Amino acid sequence: MANELATTGVKGLSTFLNQDTVKAKFAEILGSKANGFIASVLSAVNQNDLLKNADQTSIYMSALMAASLDLPINSNLGHAFIIPFNTKQKDGSYIQKAQFQISAKGFKQLAIRSGQFKYISDAVVYEGQLISENPLIGFEFDWNNKISDKVIGYVSYFKLLNGFESTYYMTSEEINKHGKKYSKTFGHQYGLWQTDRDKMALKTVAKLNLSKNAPLSIDMQRATVADQSVINDSETLDVEYIDNKPDVIDVEEIAEEKEYQRITDHISNAKTKAELKQVEQFLVDEIHKTQYQDKLKTLKK
- Residues across the chain: 301
Dist. CA 29–CA 38, nearest whole Å: 12
Check residue 238 and give its pLDDT: 87
Q: Is the pLDDT of residue 300 over 80?
A: no
Q: Is the pLDDT of residue 254 over 50?
A: no
Q: Which residues pair with 157 in a beta bridge?
A: 121, 167
How many other CB atoms are found less than 10 A from the CB of residue 100? 28
Mean pLDDT of the chain: 84
Question: Whole-model pTM above 0.75?
Answer: no
Strand-pair category, 151-160 with 165-171: antiparallel
Q: Using 50, 70 and 90 to split pLDDT, how confident is the model at 243?
A: low
Contact 224, 218 (CB under 8 A): no
Q: How far is CA 27 from CA 5, 101, 188, in A?
A: 21, 22, 39
Most confident of 144-153, 233-242, 266-275: 144-153
Contact 135, 93 (CB under 8 A): no
Contact 193, 172 (CB under 8 A): no
Dist. CA 115–CA 104, nearest whole Å: 18
Check residue 253 and give its pLDDT: 46
Dihedral sign computed on CA atoms, order 218, 222, 223, 225 = positive
pLDDT: is 184 or 66 the higher one? 66
